[in-house]
Homo-oligomer: A and B are copies of this chain.
Amino acid sequence: MPAEAKTAAETAAKDAPPAARAVPPASPPLTERQEARRRRILHASAQLASRGGFDAVQMREVAESSQVALGTLYRYFPSKVHLLVATMQDQLAHMHGTLRKKPPAGETAAERVAETLMRAFRALQREPHLADAMVRALTFADRSVSPEVDQVSRQTTAIILDAMGLDDPTPAQLSAVRVIEHTWHSALITWLSGRASIAQVKIDIETVCRLIDLTEVRETR
């Protein structure tokens, strides 16, 4: 039963009716000044996050840094978590672009995915506080942020599928990708909270990537 495909479709359908908010192709087109405000806010958010992480992103400070009234900030991003998830979307898009330029060189799909994720991991290590803010927001997000979190998830999936070099993955492969994403997020958290070393994260990523090999062998499953 192609449950994977169904879920993705359902989820996608879920946020279409009530309208997307933080996704680029949104409902109301923003004026130039509004676009500029949005950008200033995201910049300030990333800036503050790069210092003290999640706690350092204080809504009053973001508002001040980006020259916007507090009420306006909340009009653009209805909560701190929304703001940080949008910040993550921003960074992810940037990273996807960067990764595209130099595709991973591994022989097998598993190797390429592991290499890609490790490259992303090294990027996050350069800004650990920013990583903290974004990842904590992502996992702390409640239902009200689901559409945005889902968008991040789709973006991540796209990056992994890119690394695998697949156009139309099998259900089994999509399941493997889902599990890889789970591991990726959770491993990041254990690293960020100091409960796992960088080496340990590397091992976990490499371990889970072996699942990909499994799907290649038993595709008819």
Chain A contact residues, CB within 8 Å of chain B:
1-4, 7, 10-11, 52, 54-56, 136, 139-143, 145-146, 149-150, 153, 172, 175-176, 178-179, 181-183, 185-187, 189-190, 193-197, 199-200, 203-204, 207-208, 210-211, 214
Contact = CB atoms under 8 A, between A and B. Distances in A.
B140 A199 contact: no
A177 to B, nearest CB: 10
Given A175-B207, A182-B183, A189-B139, A2 B200 contact: no
A87 to B, nearest CB: 17
A146 B191 CA distance: 11
Contacts of A190: 182
A136 B183 CA distance: 17
A3 B200 contact: yes
B211 A210 contact: yes
A195 B55 contact: no
Contacts of A2: 52, 55
B179 A183 contact: yes
A58 to B, nearest CB: 10
A10 B197 CA distance: 10
Contacts of A54: 142
A179 B199 contact: no
Nearest to A207: B175
Given A182-B204, A214-B210, A193 B3 contact: no
A127 B180 CA distance: 27
A153 B199 contact: no
Contact of A195 (B150, B207, B210, B214): B150
